[in-house]
Amino acid sequence: MRAADISDQLTDVLVTEEQIQARLRDIAAQVAVDYADKNLLLVGVLKGAVMVMADFSRALPTVAPMDWMAVSSYGAGTKSSGVVQIRKDLDEDLTDRDVLIVEDIIDSGLTLSWLLENFESRGAASVEVFALLRKPDAAKVHVECKYVGFDIPNEFVVGYGLDYAERYRNLRDVAVLAPHVYA
């Protein structure tokens, strides 16, 4: 589904599928160089990172195993509680692994900050972050992000894995959801 198909539900397209794919190829090429002699493990954060992880891993010119984690700091609300709950833990041991967390978006940074500390405490050789999208104006804590696809405004966005009430994840573009949809 493209933004044009549901234009009555969106206000602005921030990043198109074509822009996303081009940026993923660029970052994948850099990651391949940066991790050439390392024990790389890609870790995706469910559910939002599914699209990013799938396309990013296919763009990598090297073998890179992946694992998944599901965490929540929102519960049933729309604002972070600040308390992180593990919904699904990793299957892989992180000891001496070079972990690259693959995220769809960095918003407040609270959950990602917790993940970084958690992975370091598990004995990872290194832990870095790749986020397709980052909202600098929404940050509550500073999170060092080695690879960033796009900085976007502090708007409610959907598409390319990002959802509203489990809808819009399959939108191929990243767009601002119109307030009348969620208000």
- 3-state class of 121 per DSSP? helix
CA 131, 133, 136, 139 dihedral sign is negative
Backbone torsion region of residue 159, taken as left when φ is above 0, otherwise alpha when ψ lies between -120 and 50, otherwise beta: left
- Which residue intervals of 122-166 are DSSP H helices? none
- How many other C-beta atoms lie within 10 A of the C-beta of residue 140? 12
> In the sheet where 40-46 sits, what is the strand order?
85-88, 66-72, 40-46, 98-106, 126-134, 147-151
Cα angle value 159/69/105 (rounded, 5°): 35
Cα separation, 58 vs 28, whole angstroms: 9
What are the residues whose beta carbons fall under 8 Å from the beta carbon of 133, sequence distance 6 or more? 15, 104, 105, 106, 149, 150, 151, 152, 157, 162, 174
Query: Which residues belong to the active site?
Result: 107
